[in-house]
A and B are shown apart, each in its own frame.
Chain A
Amino acid sequence: MLDFFNSNETIHFIITVSTMLLFTIGLYGVFTQKNLVKVLISFDIMETALFLFFIGLHYDFGRVAPIVDGNLNTFTNMVDPVPQAMILTTIVIGLAILALGLSFGIEYFRLTGTNDISKMNELRD
């Protein structure tokens, strides 16, 4: 029974289903929420779901982390290091955009007193 849970396909199935569920929640939040802070947090949820999906699918059962220490001497049977490097970069970029968006929200609130994106219709035909 435990061998069923220890196989690659089960782990990948669980990861795919759960992260796509998280992605759907984030997508729903982006389309329906009216407060700017909630929209930005929903973006964060979507991005986190994608990161978990990518890293999770690259885990193969039985491999180790790509670090050489006293016990390990060669770079064999290790998990792929390139996705981890890519996700590291993308996390920082997501953080930067979130911070910038929040600062826009703070300044807009100071000027108009509202954070409601459905009321932002100064610019229209």
Chain B
Amino acid sequence: MSLGYYFLLPVIFSFLTPFFKKMSSVSLRGSSVLLNLFLFLQTLQYTQMSMPQISQFSIAPPVGIAFVLDNFSLLFLLIFTFSGFIVSLYMMWYFKVSDSTHEARFYVFFSMLIAGSIGMILSCDIFNVYIFFEITGISSYALSAYNKDKMGLEAGIKYLIIGSVASIFIVFAIMLIYLQIGTVNIGLIAQRYSEIDPKIAVLIALMLFIGFGTKAELFPMNFWAPDIYQGSSSHVNGLFSSVVAKAYLFVLFHLFYLFGLNTQYTILLMSLGAITFLVSELTALNQKDIKRLFAYSTLGQLGILFMALASNSSQTISGALFHLTSHSISKLLIFLALGIIIHKLKDTKISIVGDFKSMFLTVILVIGFLSVLGIPPFSGFVGKILILKGFALAHNYMAIAFILIVSIIEAVYFFRLIAIMLDKSRTKVAVSIGFINYIVLGGLGLLIILLGVYPSILTHYTDLATNALLEPQSYLNYALGVGL
């Protein structure tokens, strides 16, 4: 199967959605589930094949564009297709609207969000990456404003303005790259990057960093994120934190390592990641809205990932990739479960975690919280231990102490939430959960426990991914079209 199907099939599905309104809404949701399931199964098949794989468009690179899959992007592809499948399965229960045109538009934006993120990680041409960046961007602006209430529209407007600033910086950087080097193929740029004028190289690196870093929620450009999370629906928040932010993180670090910038800017990125972690966890302590609280929690975990991915040692990067996968699954679980509660209680203050009566949801939420925090036997614990082990091997004891101290701050608000949830003296409202949601949420919870108890299933892939990131010669060969 060609890699182009990851983008072409969702595009055909989106273009044909206006015709679905003649049929029932079950057929629309069902076909979305089938499409995402097909893409996920194809990705599982790719894990058995030899890497890298290439699929060219129109003409061979470096003159043309191609999609290249190596072990590093395979890990992210697994996360994205899995998240797409889970959310489309969850949405089979969620809506009960009678307006099928409105619902069809949701599926257009949802499919294009996943397809755009996948295109960003597969493409080997930096202008093509910008196009997919815009596809993902427009889908997320529309998904933020989907409910058309005052908060949603405000979130959409703010996100659009911030996203436009980021895209202007990226366009400027691409223009400077083309003026200096004469090509936009990532392989050729990586080969010739050391030959450009050093002052302009600094300017290009700064612009790429501001552009992708704004959308990847790095300090000091992440002030927009909690507002956006508060204004969108909860399942959209789950998509944002497990798919969209990780895609921009991928592009940032992929270019960082390929262009050879990892020798100069390591300290800067690590300290910015550390500041992100500290500031987000401190601000999360006195939040009163639960979606904002989890937005700050996502920012904090992304700060840890920045710290770990920017360090040059392979153990830390392998741990960071494990933690990234576990964080995607856990945050998706938390936001999807919160979606059911918010839909029933119609309020978003923190105390709603104590106002529902469902043993299943309580267990699921506790699993999610403890996994993000990093308590054994859940997968978040394995991720954090691997990162700390990597820092210990690199003799970076300050980073270990920093992460442990700020994790205590994180533990404060998570245990406060659990205490509210288990408080028996509050009046509780029963929540109805659809049959499919039992399967979806239960499956995610079991996956978290499985990864926590048998981490070797995933560490095999994260080690392969780390090797592919730090030794990118085979990827560069495919991007340059050698041997095609």
Q: How large is the interface on B (under 10, 10 to 19, 20 to 34, 35 or more residues)?
A: 35 or more
Q: Residue of A at shortest CB range from B227?
A: A123
A59 sits at the interface (CB 8 A): no
Distance (whole angstroms) from the CB of A118 to the closest CB of chain B = 12
Distance (whole angstroms) from the CB of B378 to the closest CB of chain A = 29
In the bound complex, what is the Cα–Cα distance between A113 and B178 (angstroms)? Answer: 45
Which residues of chain B are within 8 angstroms of A101 by Cβ–Cβ distance?
157, 160-161, 164
Complex partner residue of B231 from A57, A86, A123, CB under 8 angstroms = A123
B416 sits at the interface (CB 8 A): no
Query: Which segment, of A43-51, A60-68, A71-79, faces chain B?
Result: A43-51
B179 sits at the interface (CB 8 A): yes
User: Are B292 and A125 touching (Cβ within 8 A)?
Assistant: yes
User: Are A111 and B227 touching (Cβ within 8 A)?
Assistant: no
Which residues of chain B are within 8 angstroms of A50 by Cβ–Cβ distance?
168, 171-172, 175
B148 sits at the interface (CB 8 A): yes
User: Are B153 and A104 touching (Cβ within 8 A)?
Assistant: yes
User: Are B179 and A57 touching (Cβ within 8 A)?
Assistant: yes
Distance (whole angstroms) from the CB of A97 to the closest CB of chain B = 6
Interface of B is mostly: helix
Complex partner residue of B127 from A53, A86, A122, A125, CB under 8 angstroms = A86
Which residues of chain B are within 8 angstroms of A36 by Cβ–Cβ distance?
157
Q: Which of B144-197 contact A (CB under 8 A)?
A: 145, 148-151, 153-158, 160-161, 164-165, 167-168, 171-172, 174-175, 178-179, 184
Number of CB contacts from chain A to chain B under 8 A = 86
Chain B: residues with CB nearer than 8 A to chain A? Answer: 127, 131, 134, 137-138, 141-142, 145, 148-151, 153-158, 160-161, 164-165, 167-168, 171-172, 174-175, 178-179, 184, 226-227, 230-231, 283, 286-288, 292
CB-CB nearest 3 A-B residue pairs: A123-B227, A108-B153, A54-B175
Given contacts A104-B141, A123-B226, A125-B292, 20 further A-B contacts (CB under 8 A): A36-B157, A46-B168, A47-B171, A53-B175, A54-B175, A83-B178, A86-B174, A96-B138, A97-B134, A97-B160, A100-B160, A104-B145, A105-B157, A108-B154, A120-B157, A122-B154, A123-B151, A123-B230, A125-B283, A125-B287
Could you give 27 example pairs across A and B, Cβ below 8 Å? Answer: A43-B161, A46-B168, A50-B171, A50-B172, A53-B175, A54-B175, A54-B178, A86-B174, A86-B184, A93-B131, A100-B141, A101-B160, A104-B141, A104-B160, A107-B145, A107-B148, A107-B153, A108-B150, A108-B153, A112-B150, A120-B157, A122-B151, A122-B154, A123-B151, A123-B158, A124-B227, A125-B286
